[in-house]
Amino acid sequence: MGFFNKQRTDGRTYDGQGEERKGFIDRISFNGEAEDIVWKFPYDNLSIGTQLIVNHSQEAIFLRGGAVCDIFGEGTHTLSTNNIPVLQKLINLPFGGRTPFTAEVYFVSKTVRRNLKFGTINAVPVCDPLYSIPIPVRAFGEYGIRVVDASMLLGELVGTLHTFDTESIIEQFKSVVLQQLNASFGQFVKQERISVVDLPAYSPQMAQYLQNCLKSEFARYGISLENFNLASINYDEGHPNVQKVLEAQANAAAEIFEAQGRAQRRNIEQYTFQEERQFDVMETAAGNEGGSGQMMGAGMGLGMGVGIGGAFGTQMGNIAGVMTSQQPSSAATPPPPPMPVTYHVLVNNVQQGPYDLPTLQQMAQNGTLTRDTYVWKNGMPQWTKAGESTELQSLFSAVPPPPPIL
């Protein structure tokens, strides 16, 4: 059934014909289809004493001259001047008797109507906020509605129509839903700061965003938007712009993975980011032509052979010395200040540090560092006792040994 369904079948529409027009209508009840949201009772020759039957989740609305006179909820009602006071006032009904009167009766269903389908007719170009290129997107889904204000629905949408069903709702709101859908794609990706190609993963959030945007539009007609679901958001993966975005995302992911890997290697091999950058500079210089490049290459090979963690500082110092001696005096620059000597300390089987020599001297004085404490620094093949390190022996010269046990 379409939006302008006016079939004049028996019991479906009022045609002003037939014997029913010569007498009184004793019973008014819904006789429409299950899909009808609004159904107009086919006759208007009513009378006081007529029974009105309103089913569950329905309302019956009496109109005269286009104005709403009374609204009845579910149940069985006997029309009288007591329960239709507005109508009685409009047409001056006398009290008592089967007084005839004319009025239009509309039955309005207030049950939730779900599975109302929608979908984009053509792909919608959406500008990707991260890569500034348009991506064509399609979307399909369904929504549900419920009439919350029957009088508003009659006045704003139904008018003089005899029936108004779910297909009528779909047809009436199709352009509204699609216009909001087209506008919301770009708004949503910009708000969430995501790429258009990531939209399928955000279908629930996008559906909620659209429902919030459309609620007020449906409310203008007395309708509540009960749910709004996106069954599919998709794009053509073969489109050139989609390929560009996917390739850019893959490159960015590879860079992040590489950065994480380098950070893990620094942690395992015990060297800093600054030392790693110096290593990269030296490696680049090793590839240059000339004597300094050859010497640098030899140094790099040696350094890599003994391991970055063990001999990185020594190798860098030697290589830097070779490079400095190769440079002309006119272009010579002062070398960087020497790095302080630092040691890692094993205290209660927990690695601490690195600490410089002044800190280690304080630790020796307060007893935290003893001759039997294991220490390690860059260049040492393994952990050794502090008392066996030539460089640290002076720390204990002024520290008395533990007193004897008496």
Pairing of strands 51-54, 27-28: parallel
Residue 60 host element (H or E): strand 58-64
pTM: 0.56
pLDDT tens digits for 361-372?
A: 888 888 888 888
Half-sphere exposure of 27 (CA within 13 A, CB side): 5
Distances (CA, A) of 288 to 46, 172, 209, 293, 320: 105, 73, 58, 5, 15
pLDDT tens digits for 313-358?
A: 555 555 545 455 555 544 556 777 767 788 888 887 778 888 888 8
Edge-first strand listing for the sheet containing 163-165: 67-72, 58-64, 104-109, 36-40, 163-165
pLDDT over 70 (residue 22) = no
From CA 57, how far away is CA 376, in angstroms rounded? 82
**Strand spans (E) along 334-390:** 342-347, 350-356, 374-376, 384-385
Q: Is residue 59 within 8 Å of residue 72, measured between CB atoms?
A: yes
- What is the reported pLDDT for 362? 84
pLDDT tens digits for 242-272?
A: 888 878 877 877 777 666 766 666 666 665 6
Cα torsion 131, 132, 133, 138: sign: positive
Q: CA 200, 204, 208, 213: dihedral to nearest 10 degrees? A: 10
User: Of the segments 13-22, 104-113, 248-257, 379-388, which one has the largest average pLDDT value?
Assistant: 104-113
At 66, is the pLDDT very low, low, confident or very high (cuts 50, 70, 90)? Answer: confident
- Three-class DSSP category at 97: coil
From CA 38, how far away is CA 157, in angstroms rounded? 10
Lowest mean pLDDT among 23-27, 64-68, 71-75: 23-27
